[in-house]
Amino acid sequence: MSAFKTERATPVHPLVRLRGVSKRFGDVLANDGVSFDVPRGSVLALVGENGAGKSTTMNILSGLYLPDAGQIEVDGQALALGSPKASLAAGIGMVHQQFRLVETLTGFENISLAIDRGRFLQRRSADDALRQQMHDLGFDLDLTVPVWQLSLARRQQLEILRVLSAGARVLALDEPTSVLSPIETQGLFAIIEKIAASGRSVVLISHKLSEILGVARDIVVMRGGRVVHVGLAKDSDPDSLARHIVGDRRFTTEARPATRRGDVVLTVDKLSVADHRGARVVRDVAFKAHRGEVVAMIGVTGNGQTELMETIGGLRKPLSGRIESPQLNGRRHFAYIPAQHLGTGLAPGLTVRENALLGRQFLPAFGPWLRRRAVDANAREVIARFGVKIADNAPVRRLSGGNLQRIVLGRELQDDPKLIIADYPTRGLDVASAAQIRSALIAAAAAGAAVLMSSEELEESLSMATRVLVMHSGAIVADLPAEEADLETIGRLMIGGREAA
Res 241 pLDDT > 80: yes
**Which band of pLDDT confidence, cut at 50, 70 and 90, is reported for residue 256?**
low
Candidate from 3-7, 41-45, 248-252, 365-369 with smallest mean pLDDT: 3-7
Q: Indicate whether 104 and 220 sit together in one domain.
A: yes
Candidate from 26-35, 110-119, 187-196 with smallest mean pLDDT: 110-119
Segment (H or E) for 69: strand 69-74
The pLDDT of residue 22 is: 95
Q: Which of the residue ranges 8-17, 253-262, 313-322, 345-354 has the most confident prediction, judged by mean pLDDT?
A: 313-322
The pLDDT of residue 317 is: 92
Candidate from 130-144, 171-185, 237-251, 296-310 with smallest mean pLDDT: 237-251
Gyration radius of the chain's alpha carbons: 23
Count helices and strands (H / E) in the chain: 16, 19
Q: Indicate whether 228 and 301 sit together in one domain.
A: no
In a domain, 196, yes or no: yes
Give CA–CA dist 69/62, Å, rounded. 16
The pLDDT of residue 402 is: 72
**Which band of pLDDT confidence, cut at 50, 70 and 90, is reported for residue 252?**
very low
Segment (H or E) for 337: strand 334-337
The pLDDT of residue 392 is: 73
Give CA–CA dist 469/476, Å, rounded. 6
- Cβ atoms 400, 316 nearer than 8 A: no
Choose one of 215, 246, 277: the last residue of a domain: 246
CA dihedral angle for residue 396, residue 400, residue 405, residue 409, rounded to 10 degrees: -60
Q: Indicate whether 257 and 114 sit together in one domain.
A: no
In a domain, 298, yes or no: yes
Candidate from 44-53, 331-340, 343-352, 466-475 with smallest mean pLDDT: 331-340
In a domain, 334, yes or no: no
Choose one of 246, 261, 290: the last residue of a domain: 246
Q: Indicate whether 170 and 136 sit together in one domain.
A: yes
Q: Indicate whether 108 and 194 sit together in one domain.
A: yes
Res 227 pLDDT > 90: yes
Cβ neighbourhood burial of 468 (10 Å; 0-12, 13-18, 19+)? buried
Q: Indicate whether 255 and 241 sit together in one domain.
A: no
Contacts of 234 (CB under 8 A, 6+ apart): 1, 5, 217
The pLDDT of residue 10 is: 46
CATH number at residue 171: 3.40.50.300
Give CA–CA dist 490/251, Å, rounded. 28
Q: Indicate whether 83 and 173 sit together in one domain.
A: yes
Q: Indicate whether 298 and 353 sit together in one domain.
A: no
**Which band of pLDDT confidence, cut at 50, 70 and 90, is reported for residue 366?**
confident
pTM (two decimals): 0.62
In a domain, 333, yes or no: no
Q: Indicate whether 28 and 136 sit together in one domain.
A: yes
Average pLDDT, the chain: 82
Segment (H or E) for 32: strand 28-39
- Cβ atoms 115, 165 nearer than 8 A: yes
Res 251 pLDDT > 60: no
Res 347 pLDDT > 60: yes
Q: Indicate whether 184 and 322 sit together in one domain.
A: no
- Give the length of the chain: 501
Give the largest CA-CA distance in the chain.
Answer: 67
Q: Indicate whether 299 and 370 sit together in one domain.
A: no
What is the count of structural domains for the chain? 3
In a domain, 137, yes or no: yes
3 state DSSP class of 99: coil
Mean pLDDT of all residues in 292-314: 87
- Cβ atoms 225, 34 nearer than 8 A: yes
The pLDDT of residue 340 is: 78
More confident residue, 129 or 352: 352
Cis peptide leading into 368, omega within 30 of 0?
Answer: yes
> How many other C-beta atoms are found inside a 10 Å radius of the C-beta of residue 398?
18
Choose one of 416, 442, 476: the last residue of a domain: 416
The pLDDT of residue 12 is: 52
Res 44 pLDDT > 90: yes
Give CA–CA dist 105/101, Å, rounded. 8
In a domain, 82, yes or no: yes
Query: Which domain, by its residues, includes 411?
Result: 343-416
Contacts of 125 (CB under 8 A, 6+ apart): none
Work out whether strand 294-298 and strand 467-472 pair parallel, antiparallel, or are unpaired. Answer: parallel
Q: Indicate whether 260 and 375 sit together in one domain.
A: no
Give CA–CA dist 181/159, Å, rounded. 18
Give CA–CA dist 268/325, Å, rounded. 9
More confident residue, 330 or 395: 395
In a domain, 304, yes or no: yes
Phi, then psi, of 242 in degrees rounded to 5: -60, -35
Q: Strand order in 320-324's β-sheet?
A: 280-290, 264-274, 320-324
In a domain, 20, yes or no: yes
Work out whether strand 280-290 and strand 264-274 pair parallel, antiparallel, or are unpaired. Answer: antiparallel
